[in-house]
Amino acid sequence: MYNAPYNNQFRRCDKRNTVKTSTKLQDQTWYVLGVGAIGCLWAAHLGLAGHKVKLILKSCRRLKQFQLSSEIKLSQQSEEFSIPAEAELANDKTSVIRYLLVCTKSPDALQAIQSIAHRLDQSSRLILLLNGLGAQQAVAEAFPNIPLICATTTDGAYLRSPFHVTHAGVGETHFGLISHQDEKETIYSELKSTFRCLGLVAHWDNNIYPRLCNKLMVNAVINPLTAIYNCNNGEILKSADRLSLIEELCIEIESVMDKLCPDHTSNLFAKVQKIAHATAGNYSSMHQDIAAGRLTEIDYINGYLCQQAKELSIATPLNLKLIEKIKALSP
């Protein structure tokens, strides 16, 4: 059985104390690996809270591009912010990284972290803010001596240009340990003091796994269907045939999750419709990947589901068909 989760929202700092608190945090350096929309969003808010932020970039071209301004731009609620930051390549430094936030694509996560493995030790705090499942387990196996914190978010963001992020939809981010549970209280205390002054809503979950599964379940429906139909989230609900497919797909997904994660959310069909309506004008990350000619995260969403289903001897023909169609559209 899974432990019942407890949710602790990191208390927000009083704005009158922001400057004072920021001064105390100047000795904390946060490294961000993966500077897509979510990576830039978190880097920007960490910087605004007074943390020193360093981006780890994968190429000299990206580094030179960033150094033209050496800042992250954030647009939200009709406001514009320019947040100073630093950047470096993975092999540039040897100093130990204490706080590392990983926001890469799931297929890239393990290799990206391995590129800076020489800078990680038991004191490092490794936070994975990824889509899907599978990459987290691979990282945990590769780095058994480092506490691994996983996160999932409903914040919406997109890049206007490199290192310029728009916070398009206010959501919540949940964090929780998936290894080194004996250090839970210490790490929670650290993150509470770190995140309480962010302009983002953050919670600590004692048992993060059901939340990761809930996010995967929704993504396993909306992401591939928007990519296949070449539409935004709302348009997958526009016909009776599509709704019928979504309902059948939800039943298939729930049949797997009932065994894999009994604490998962109920009534997936209703939840998918609610989220698709609420984000009707948005385009899923998988749709964007296909449109841009990039590899998708299908292996870590529907692929992970099918892999687990196979081990449980549960048939998943609809999910397998979706995987086949997405891979036919991928480069």
DSSP string covering 199-265? SSEEEEES--HHHHHHHHHHHHHHHHHHHHHT--GGGGGSSHHHHHHHHHHHHHHHHHHHHH-TTSP
Give dist(CA 53, CA 47) in Å, integer.
6
Residues with active-site annotation: 215
Within the chain, all domains assigned CATH 3.40.50.720 are found at: 7-207
Helices (H) and strands (E) in the chain, counts: 12, 13
Q: Which residues of the chain have pLDDT under 50?
A: 1-7, 9-26
Phi then psi for residue 284, to 5 deg, are: -65, 160
Compute the residue count for the chain. Answer: 331
* Res 251: pLDDT: 98
Give dist(CA 135, CA 75) in Å, integer.
30
For 97-114, give one letter per residue: b (16+ CB within 10 A) or e.
Answer: bbbbbbbbbbbbbbebbe
Q: Is 44 helix (H, G, I), strand (E, B) or coil?
A: helix
Q: What is the pLDDT of residues 6-32, one digit of tens each?
A: 345 443 444 333 333 344 444 589 999
Strands 79-84 and 125-129: unpaired
Contact 226, 236 (CB under 8 A): yes
CA angle, 66 as apex, 191 and 290 as ends, to 5°?
A: 85
Domain topology for 7-207: Rossmann fold (3.40.50)
* Res 27: pLDDT: 55
Q: What is the pLDDT of residues 132-170, one digit of tens each?
A: 999 999 999 999 999 999 999 999 899 999 999 999 888
Domain topology for 211-329: N-(1-d-carboxylethyl)-l-norvaline Dehydrogenase; domain 2 (1.10.1040)
Q: In the sheet that 148-153 helps form, which strands lie side by side, from edge to edge?
A: 7-9, 201-205, 172-177, 148-153, 125-129, 99-102, 29-33, 52-57, 86-89
Q: Is 182 helix (H, G, I), strand (E, B) or coil?
A: helix
Query: What is the value of pTM for the model shown?
Result: 0.90
* Res 169: pLDDT: 85
Within the chain, all domains assigned CATH 1.10.1040.10 are found at: 211-329
Percentage of the chain modeled with pLDDT above 70:
92
